[in-house]
Amino acid sequence: MLRKALSAVLTIVALSAGAQASANWPLTEATSFGSNPGNLKLFHYVPANLPEGAPLVVVAHGCTQTAQDFADTSGWPSLANEYQFAVVFPQTSTENEPAGGCFRTWEAAHQQRGAGEPLSVKQMIDYMHAQFSISLDEVFMTGMSSGGHLTNVMLATYPDVFKAGAPESSFPYKCAMAMSELATCSFGGKILTAQQWGDLARSGYPGYSGPRPKVQIWHGSNDPYIYLVNQYQLVKQWTNVHGIDAYADYGTYLLGQPRYFYKTLYGDTRVETVTIQGMGHAIAVDPGYGPWQCGSTGPYAVDFNICASYWIATFFDLT
């Protein structure tokens, strides 16, 4: 009964489920990359003849998915080939989290700098730097749902490591502090002030006063598992961290999808949102060979004529 209850909660949080996508992109597993306290697996995609000092993008999957699933649907390997950067795909398992194979972002042991899953991801970055001479000044992170939560964890606990991040279909860092709080967060039941959300983010690295990564936040307007209200809760969290208000300075459309910019007094955009109208719990893809197209349809990857990964890479200044 308990296992069924936990599975139900994680289905509500949802992070992904169902059949796996067919394998198209050859990922390489590195089996030794540090102490790995989070017991994660490291898969990477490195284009041939990658130049020294190339950027690195960390891409995290959702519950019930694998690194291979997300690589095959998201479009990140093809973008890496075209724009010459490396990609790391952290992978968790049902051994770590039996109910759904999720990243354990609601557990205190995995919300801290220097411990658990965050340290494992940091060790993956260090491994890529040692093995492929990637630039430690050009490290970025994105992920969907459970992977989006992990993205927020990493931006909060290692702001000195990441230049930018892009959570998709997620809710704020330290919204859920126990499994019992996942449903409340998913359905937008935890509403805090910008200051409160910002204080939680700053608690990921107490005393840090250096530069913070800019953030682009993606969400489907019809997400039935992680409600759209969470996109604005993330806006409040990350704008407060950057010392700006949570009122959009400018709005436009990105291939027909609403896009809002949150800027400093000097006009520097530090937070953006893109909301895919009519999309549920998924990443937006646009299969094809056009200059802005990428990705493949599959479980939790839906063709909305916009490839989120391309525009996230553009936000990261990689394209």
pLDDT digits (tens, 9 = 90+) for 226-266: 999 999 999 999 999 999 999 999 999 999 999 999 999 99
Q: Which is the catalytic residue, given 120, 145, 146, 296? A: 145
Q: Are strands 56-60 and 164-168 parallel, antiparallel or unpaired?
A: unpaired
- Say if CB 152 and CB 167 are below 8 A apart: yes
Provide the token pair at 239: 């704008």
pLDDT at 225: 96
pLDDT at 79: 98
pLDDT value at residue 244: 98
Residue 193 corresponds to which tokens in the numbers above?
């002030």
- Euclidean distance between CA atoms 41 and 34, whole angstroms: 11
- Cα angle at 45 between 276 and 35, to 5 degrees? 105
The pLDDT value given to residue 93:
96
Report residue 237 as tokens.
């969290």
The answer to pTM > 0.85 is: yes
Q: What is the pLDDT of residue 24?
A: 83
> At residue 222, what is the residue type?
N
Regions of the chain with pLDDT less than 50: 1-23
> CA-CA distances (angstroms) from residue 207 to 139, 144, 224?
22, 29, 37
- Residues 278-313: pLDDT tens digits? 999 999 999 999 989 999 999 999 999 999 999 999
For 4, how many CA atoms within 13 A lie in the half-sphere containing its CB? 1
- The pair of structure tokens assigned to 249 is 């300075």
Ordered by where they begin, the domains of the chain are 2-315 (3.40.50.1820)
Structure tokens at 270: 């530090």
Active site residue 74: no
Cα–Cα distance between 161 and 167 in angstroms, integer?
A: 16
CA separation (Å) from 215 to 45, 71, 148, 240?
23, 21, 12, 12
Q: What is the 3-state secondary structure (H, E, C) of the chain?
A: CHHHHHHHHHHHHCCCCCCCCCCCCCCEEECCCCCCCCCCEEEEECCCCCCCCCCEEEEECCCCCCHHHHHHHHCHHHHHHHHCCEEEEEECCCCCCCCCCCCCCCCHHHCCCCCHHHHHHHHHHHHHHHHHCCCCCCEEEEEECHHHHHHHHHHHHCCCCCCEEEEECCCCCCCCCCHHHHHHHHCCCCCCCHHHHHHHHHCCCCCCCCCCCEEEEEEECCCCCCCCHHHHHHHHHHHHHCCCCCCCCEEEEECCEEEEEEECCCCCEEEEEEEECCCCCCEEEECCCCCCCECCCECCEEECCCCHHHHHHHHCCCC
Q: Report which of 195, 189, 258 is spatially closest to residue 230, judged by C-alpha positions.
A: 189
Q: Are 136 and 95 in contact (CB under 8 A)?
A: no
Structure tokens at 316: 């990261």
Q: What is the pLDDT of residue 37?
A: 98
